[in-house]
Amino acid sequence: MTDTRLTPLAASLPSTIPFVAPESMEALRGAAFDARLGANELSFGPSPNAIRAMQDALSGIWKYGVPENEPLRSALATHLGVMPDALTIGEGIDGLLGILVRLYVGAGDAVVTSDGSYPTFNYHVAGVGGVLHKVAYKGDFEDPDALIAKAHDVNAKLVYLSNPNNPMGSAHSAETVQAMINAVPKDCLMVLDEAYTEFAPKSTQPQIDTSDTRVIRFHTFSKAYGLAGARIGYGISHPDIVSGFDKIRNHFGVNRVAQAGALAALHDAAYLAETLQTVAQGRIRIAQIAQDNGLTPLPSAANFVTIDCGQDGDHARALMAALNARGVFVRMPGKAPLDRCIRVSVGLPQELDVLAERLPLALGDIA
């Protein structure tokens, strides 16, 4: 029964968890997965320096995290070549998106996104009573021209683009993304989610310009730095936009262990370079496994490969279920026609060995 004391908006929303954890799925199936390849995590883990820094920080866990997020904020500013007041740090991109939406979207305000792109952004928009306008993908890419056209049509407050894209792994060039920024309507803010940017070619990354009030960019330590469970990410924008986060953010939201781990990970450039090479090799291996089984891997600029299963969403869902039943955790896009695919994260070599062994068996299960 719904609590009658809820606001009308809250009462109208479903109680849901957008992502079912693999741990919950393991509990239901009564066994652990042999290959955890569904959540776009870095299964070979963060920098050993980051682990040591977090272990050292545990003895001070009785203290609150530093609300200014120093010295991490200053280190990030140096790393990116921006001023510290152009950065806001929060509980992963998900947490930062929630704050952004609360700052810019009121009941009935229009927001534009792609139909089938990262759903947590939509979740936040619904939570404040915003009106989502969804634009279809163009092939396996988000469609910048259509997104901007829709933003003009509906007088949008926010327009969202992920580059590289989750769940398809596709990426637009820096020139294309910059052209979208240049075309953002007056009184609209572009939300550029670059969670996977470290895995992508530099040619996909527009130059950071913190004098531009038309865009905010989000990065994370969850993906390339392997700190998904630490929940820490950051936004880059004009200082006037960044200062708005201090109005309503949870100032103690980033704990001191996460702050220490992120700082150490940021300073370990050698480990990051090794990680990016390992992921690139893993994408090649997953693509080969898919091709060996008559499936089509899509080009990827992220730490996963989206695989076209060659039929419709029902077929892909059946294959995903068959893989999960055989101990291989994968996920898939949720919207047609993207849902003709499954999505496989780069994992440990032994996990990809399991995928190579069991994918043909799963295909046989649904033949």
CA dist., res. 83 & res. 74, Å (int): 8
Cβ proximity of 83 and 77 under 8 Å: yes
Tell me: the pLDDT tens digits for 72-119?
999 999 999 999 999 999 999 999 999 999 999 999 999 999 999 999
CA distance 352 to 348: 6
Q: Which residue has the tokens 């980033």?
A: 254
The b-or-e profile of 289-318 (16+ CB within 10 A means b, else e) is bbeeeebebbebbbbbbbbbbeeebeebbb
β-strands 296-297, 304-308 pairing: antiparallel
Instruction: Report the distance separating Cα 168 and Cα 300, nearest Å.
Output: 8
Contact 163, 171 (CB under 8 A): yes
For the entire predicted model, the pTM comes to 0.96
Quick one: CATH architecture of 49-268? 3-Layer(aba) Sandwich (3.40)
Calculate what percentage of the chain has a pLDDT beyond 70.
100
Tell me which fold the domain 8-45+270-365 belongs to: Aspartate Aminotransferase, domain 1 (3.90.1150)
Q: What is the pLDDT of residue 231?
A: 97
What b/e readout covers 201-212, taking b as 16+ CB neighbours within 10 angstroms?
eeebbbeebbeb
* Element containing residue 182 per DSSP (H, E): helix 174-182
pLDDT digits (tens, 9 = 90+) for 115-169: 999 999 999 999 999 999 999 999 999 999 999 999 999 999 999 999 999 999 9
Per-domain residue ranges of the chain: 8-45+270-365, 49-268
C-alpha count within 13 angstroms, C-beta hemisphere, residue 42: 29
Q: What's the mean pLDDT in 251-270?
A: 97
